[in-house]
Amino acid sequence: MPSYRKLLATLCLPAIAAPTLSVAQNAPSTPELGIVVVTATRQETRADETLADMTVIAREEIERLGQGTITDLLARQPGIQVSTNGGPGTSTAFYVRGANADQTKVLVDGIPINSIDLGGSPLRFMPLADVERIEILRGPAATLYGADAIGGVIHIITRRSQPGLRAEAFAGYGSHGTSQIAAGISGGDEHWLFRVEGNHHGSEGVSARRKSYALNKDADDDAYRNSGGAASLSYLPTKNHEFGMSWRGNSGEVHFDSAPWNGNVANGDYDVRTRFRAGQWQVFARNRLFDDRWLSTLRYSEATDDQVTHFSFGDSPLWTRTNQLMWQNDVRLPLGELLAAAEWQRQDVREDDDGMFDDDHATRNTAFLLGWTAHRGDHAWQINARADRHSRYGHENTFGLSYGYRISREFRARLSYGTAFKAPSLDQLYNGGYGHPELEAEKARNREAALIWERGAHTASITWYRNELRDLIAWDSAVPATPANPWGGGYRNIGRANLTGATLAYSGRFGDWKIGASVDYLDAQARDADGRWTRLGRRARHAALLTLDRTWGKRFAAGMEVATVGRRYDSTYDKAAANKEQLGGYTLVNLTASYAIHPDLRLEGRLNNLFDKKYETARYYNTDGFTAFVGLRYSPK
């Protein structure tokens, strides 16, 4: 280890050395008792009363991330594995409970942002500056959120204003020329609320592909630029009524190394880059009626994902727009709460110059859903049902049943069963080269059971699940070549998949110490067209995380993260293959520290990959080695 890294480790490790404690396992961001969440039921519910496997990433953890991206943040959560093709902004896949990247629903303030991007959404471009918290719902949630929620839901909830005037700012700098800057102002009174914010994240980056990759001649540093902003405005004529609007958007450019295209080694010299622009806006009305027994929420929203990738042989555009009209009603009953909602959604893409999509390439979906959540004595239950009518594949009905029982003051258990589906994307249906308009929707059914222990500031749990998928959509290289698709291959419903796993989790406080840990086991297998069961690629059987944080009074805090991921295979494992493309396991150690110069001004620092571990999450693609970042945050208390 270089001498400067030894010095940093010597200075930081004693400050966060663990006391001698016997502790179990958990995610550091598991919600504490009393936190209110919305994703598990689509209604405000205390986290400790939900009947779902959830994690809440609070603002405190987001701020500790330093120069990191949402990819870095989600990679450290239980039940999620991530693969990236290089540095920040490059192609990224999020595997929730082993499901494919496009089988997870992604929401921003309730707005669906999934697109025809192969990663499922422009999530990798999402800046964290205006994010208040992230709620992760693991397990199928199609009865609440419709298609794409086979693996779960990632719900990003942005910051909102409060009465009074408040300004915040952050600036930081670190390794690879990485810089971040953000500033925002919010305020209002009992009738008007507003918030305006701007942010920028830039980095000179690292080479996306390994320099040892023989055919990669463009092994230079690949830069990343991302600038954006957000604004919201609400009018509250009375405390029971709110009418508002919000907008957020970001744009930038990410470079990544090229590879030979169709055997043309010369293409390896070209500096491939993607210019992107993503945004969401909404208008809404929230009205509490009949002595606060009925909450009506009406919202119209739009999300766009606009990307253009510049290759040596030409430009490849990707543009998706999703419009949604939603009316949700939450009615307080003598026993529990009723959910009744209706949704209309349209998604369309823009045709490129090569006629990539057919003329009629829009899909529409209408849905109605009902739910009942209640508690009585030691018993709790959640029942949901949903009917979708899709313009391309017809009707689809889904349902979910969850039951919880408080065994004792400290122990409770829950069982659940749910179905889900994923509609084929417009790219999979209509891409003129390899799309297939007769694709069936993917179907899933999930069973899970959990046992939870709670005592004071301590929570531990064990969760088991089995998610069975059929009509799996996958790339079939056996599809013959055509004039529109000269290299062959295409999307087909070719098999089934079984995702079985378990998560052990613990979080707790011991005075000034906060400890969290989680251990994940995952067996993700798919059956191909020949009936063979194979392991799904880039998904490790084992992953674990340990976090330790300590505070000294109101001024100083420090923390440590240790993340371990087991070995994986880069693509679907085939026992007969000569080269199985194995990716080695790895362990990363990160350190954090902060010092309050003033109650409103804090100096923050972070050391990532302290021991400079070399590892891959995708074959031949680089990841960051040791990096350091320091920032200054102004946040009035």
- In this model, does residue 563 exceed pLDDT 90? yes
How far the first Cα of the chain sits from its last, in Å, is: 40
CA separation for the pair 521, 524 (Å, rounded):
10
CA separation for the pair 226, 199 (Å, rounded):
8
- In this model, does residue 214 exceed pLDDT 90? no
Confidence bin at 359 (pLDDT 50/70/90):
very low
Give the mean pLDDT of 498-521: 96
| Cβ–Cβ under 8 Å, residues 226 and 202 | yes
CA 523 to chain CA mean position, Å: 21
- Tokens of residue 196, six digits: 């305006």
pTM of the model: 0.90
pLDDT score of 222:
86
- In this model, does residue 575 exceed pLDDT 70? no
Burial class (CB in 10 A: 0-12, 13-18, 19+), 400: buried
| Cβ–Cβ under 8 Å, residues 215 and 97 | no
Helices (H), 384-425: none
Residue type for position 394:
G
Confidence bin at 16 (pLDDT 50/70/90):
very low
Residue bearing the bigger pLDDT, 349 or 189: 189
When the pLDDT of each residue in the chain is averaged and rounded to a whole number, the result is 86
The fold adopted by the segment(s) 3-634 is: Maltoporin; Chain A (2.40.170)
Q: What percent of the chain has pLDDT over 70?
A: 86
Between CA 270 and CA 275, with CA 274 as vertex, the angle to 5 degrees is: 130
Give the mean pLDDT of 481-487: 67
Confidence bin at 22 (pLDDT 50/70/90):
very low
- In this model, does residue 194 exceed pLDDT 60? yes
- Tokens of residue 60, six digits: 């405190």
| Cβ–Cβ under 8 Å, residues 373 and 339 | yes
